[in-house]
Amino acid sequence: MPRGSTTWRITAGPLLSWHAWRVDFLPPDINGLPLHPLVVHAAVVLIPLTGVLALLMVLVPRFSYRFGPLVLVLGWIAAGAAFVSKETGEVLRRQVEDVSATHVESGDLLPMFAGVQAVLITLLWLADRRGGRGVLGILVALFTLLAVVAAGYWTYRTGESGAQSVWG
């Protein structure tokens, strides 16, 4: 497949997921070290960090109003890091034979959870900027809590299964 081409593929995991882009422009390694272990640490740090800051946004609307843009940017960077980690993991999987199915399935879903977290953080910040949380703002805050827990769990599950694949 030529570099930079767009492909559509459907993978079956615990949920059905689709992938519209491939990151073929990234190098498979840097100085002989696969890119995946380098990139994955950004997602592993930023997704939970964004989650903790999002919890502060939910609990303290004034924090949301003041620091929401920073949390918002971190959330989108975390979602991007999760996506790039997934794609570099696909490249590495072609080279490594023994990768757990749990890690592959979790890695396929993690960018979606990180993306939902980023979207809900954005909506929460917009609701707080509007001047107060009405019923819709409270619903967004509750869904943000659920997204933070889900993204944190899937980050842990993906990282733990990956570590077990590598270190046993």
Q: Where are the domains of the chain?
A: 35-163
Regions of the chain where pLDDT drops below 70:
1-25
Is pTM beyond 0.85? Reply is no
Q: How many CB atoms lie within 10 A of CB 29?
A: 16
Nearest partner of 69 among 123, 138, 125, judged by Cα: 125
Instruction: Provide the H-helix boundaries in the chain.
Output: 35-59, 61-93, 101-129, 135-167
Q: What is the pLDDT of residue 2?
A: 45
Q: What is the pLDDT of residue 101?
A: 86
Q: What is the pLDDT of residue 97?
A: 78
